[in-house]
Structure 1
Amino acid sequence: MTSLLTRVKSKMSIFAHRKARGILDGEYGSVFRGRSLDFDDLRAYVPGDEVRDIDWKASARHGSPLIKRYVAVRRQTLMLIADTGRNMAAGSRDGEPKKDIAVMALGVMAYLAHRHGDVVGLVCGDAFGSRTIPAKAGEAHLERLLQEVHSRASLDSGPSRLEEQLRHVARTVKGRNLLFVVADELAADPGLEQVLRRLRAQHEILWLTIRDAHLAGAGPAEDAFSVVDASPLPSRIAESSGVAAAYATATAGRDAGRHAMLRSVGISEGRVANSQEVMTELFALLERHRRAG
């Protein structure tokens, strides 16, 4: 069996030649900084310190800025949340299978957590139910998680409904964790927003969207079909510029609605169309999340 984690690590090594891996490690480590750490003491502010770490009340009493210092909790928990329904068996914006992009993204985050001494778990599934693999350490465990996602996302899977996995997390995952969600281009929905608000009150959440294929880029008409019900896409529809324009407009509206929903609940979103974009977009996503905090 091909090692998915080895493939992920190889791509990370290539990326490290162009951008220092330490920067990406630092961005991952900053996600929990000042949030899930135990308070230690106060010290004088020095240029370069994070403004958000200033204890304003103590500073007012002291007469000069004081910074809160924290003792790091030795081990954090990263929970990977993945849609493994039929939607993830489809092609992405650039034609690559969505599940391959998902495995790359999940693998990068999981390996970053492993390098920081954190434990990693997984919740995946479809509209019919969710499966949880408890958080553990070790590369063999990470490989198991990636193989689980890769093998479950197929045309034989149930319909995709990520809200089911998120509600499962809300019911079963205790404590304060970092949730990394990988999904396709979902539409904003009141039920989805409700469960996200509940989760965001307890956890840190990062969201990565894998872009859907263009209607015009679905491939030869005889090969184009819907992963939802396997129905073919007639060539006159696939080749219609009017239908393609309407589809693009609807897609833009769906994207705007989802982005607004995520922003309203305090969740940073990244978007990728292929696995080559994963490293750069994750770096940007972690940085946006840190700045927003």
Structure 2
Amino acid sequence: MASLLQRVKSKMAIYAHRKARGMLDGEYGSVFRGRSLDFDDLRAYVPGDEVRDIDWKASARHGSPLIRRYVAVRRQTVLLVTDTGRNMAAVAKSGEAKKDIAVLTLGVLGYLAHRHGDVVGLVCGDSSITRSLPAKGGEQHLERLLRHVDAHTTLDGAPSRIQDQLQHVARNVKGRHLLFVVADELPADAATGQLLRRLRAQHEILWLTVRDADLAPSGMEPADSHGTADAAGTGDSYSVADSALLAWQPAASAAVAAAYATAVAQRDADRKAMLRAAGITEGEVAASDDVITGLFALLERHRRAG
């Protein structure tokens, strides 16, 4: 099997030119690199850097703004938390399998962590089981984590329930970590909101949602938001949660389509409000092509919020 991490590196090379990759790398560093009083080096200012980090004397000598960087206080522990339930084996908005987008996203963030000397661990699972792999460094370890997610996200698995993985973190993970959560479109409720606030009090949290497919996208073979197109090409879909057939034809009705769009917008608004109330920065991706720009925007929003 081809290396999943190599796919991550290839995607980064294809969809982010050298300057953009450098900005993504710098964004990660500016957000999560520990601070101490020990000066490390200077680098060129890029839009979005904190003004307080500008070394004005060095900038005057150099003729352009330079940013001070400091030695990390300690190595960061990054914990990838993801959903490997069968909901994540369904179709994303782009028509790709959600798990392929999730693996790419986890790989990009994990690779950034590796480049900065951070260690990376994994908590993943579904409604029946939660698995945990300890945090370590190195590309081989990151490859194992990505393969674990890829191998355990199947249509034969149990339904998704990211709350179970978050509960596992709350019960078992000591100390302060960076949690990078990649999940399906999480419905908001009071219990989940309380759990998220509890986790945020201890950890730094970034959340990335992989968007569902449209109920009836334009074209001949629509796929349900939690389903997959009929292999026979009939255009029907089924729910991966309970295998129920989901006929798409009613969405041809303007009234039904409008009601569905309203319900989706309300669900999104409720999720965003729940995460915002917990102090968690959220981003969204709908396709593998969105991952680099989506992750950069997520890191930038988190830095500005913090």
**TM-score (ref. length: structure 2):** 0.83
Match of 2:17 in 1: 17
Once the two structures are superposed, the pairs formed by residues 58-77 of structure 1 within 5 Å of their partners are 71-77=71-77
How far did residue 51 of structure 1 move? 6.9
Q: Is the 8 A contact 2:80 2:123 kept in 1?
A: yes
Q: Is the 8 A contact 2:236 2:247 kept in 1?
A: no
Which whole-Å deviations, capped at 9, do the CAs of 1:219-256 have from their partners, x for residues lacking one? Answer: 45454110011111235435444332222111100000
How far did residue 138 of structure 1 move? 0.9
Match of 2:281 in 1: 268
Once the two structures are superposed, the pairs formed by residues 243-262 of structure 1 within 5 Å of their partners are 243-262=256-275
Within the alignment, does 1:279 sit opposite 2:286 as a pair? no
How far did residue 159 of structure 1 move? 1.0
Output the CA distance in 1 between the equivalents of 2:52 and 2:158. Answer: 45
Match of 1:201 in 2: 201
User: Structure 2: any 5+ residue segments left out of the alignment?
Assistant: 40-44, 54-68, 218-222, 224-228
Match of 2:123 in 1: 123
Match of 2:226 in 1: none
Going from structure 1 to structure 2, the CA distance change for 1:51 and 1:191 (only over 3 Å counts) comes to: farther
Going from structure 1 to structure 2, the CA distance change for 1:21 and 1:77 (only over 3 Å counts) comes to: same
Aligned pair count reads 272
User: Structure 1: any 5+ residue segments left out of the alignment?
Assistant: 42-46, 54-68
Output the CA distance in 2 between the equivalents of 1:142 and 1:126. Answer: 21
Match of 2:78 in 1: 78
Output the CA distance in 1 between the equivalents of 2:216 and 2:124. Answer: 30
SS at match of 1:212: coil
How far did residue 50 of structure 1 move? 4.2
How far did residue 102 of structure 1 move? 0.2
Stretch deviating more after TM superposition (103-112 or 7-16): 7-16
Output the CA distance in 2 between the equivalents of 1:242 and 1:191. Answer: 33
Match of 2:111 in 1: 111
Match of 1:290 in 2: 303
Identical positions, percent: 68
SS at match of 1:225: strand
Going from structure 1 to structure 2, the CA distance change for 1:183 and 1:52 (only over 3 Å counts) comes to: farther
Matched letter for residue 150 of structure 1: D
Match of 1:163 in 2: 163
Q: Is the 8 A contact 1:221 1:235 kept in 2?
A: no
**TM-score (ref. length: structure 1):** 0.86
Once the two structures are superposed, the pairs formed by residues 19-98 of structure 1 within 5 Å of their partners are 19-33=19-33, 37-38=35-36, 50=50, 71-98=71-98
Matched letter for residue 216 of structure 1: A
How far did residue 197 of structure 1 move? 0.5
Q: Is the 8 A contact 2:16 2:292 kept in 1?
A: no
Output the CA distance in 2 between the equivalents of 1:52 and 1:193. Answer: 34
Which whole-Å deviations, capped at 9, do the CAs of 1:82-109 have from their partners, x for residues lacking one? Answer: 0000110110112111000000100000
Matched letter for residue 182 of structure 2: V
Output the CA distance in 2 between the equivalents of 1:98 and 1:140. Answer: 24
Within the alignment, does 1:175 sit opposite 2:196 as a pair? no
Output the CA distance in 1 between the equivalents of 2:179 and 2:145. Answer: 15
Q: Is the 8 A contact 1:200 1:265 kept in 2?
A: yes
Output the CA distance in 2 between the equivalents of 1:268 and 1:235. Answer: 34
Output the CA distance in 1 between the equivalents of 2:174 and 2:36. Answer: 18
CA RMSD of aligned residues (A): 2.3
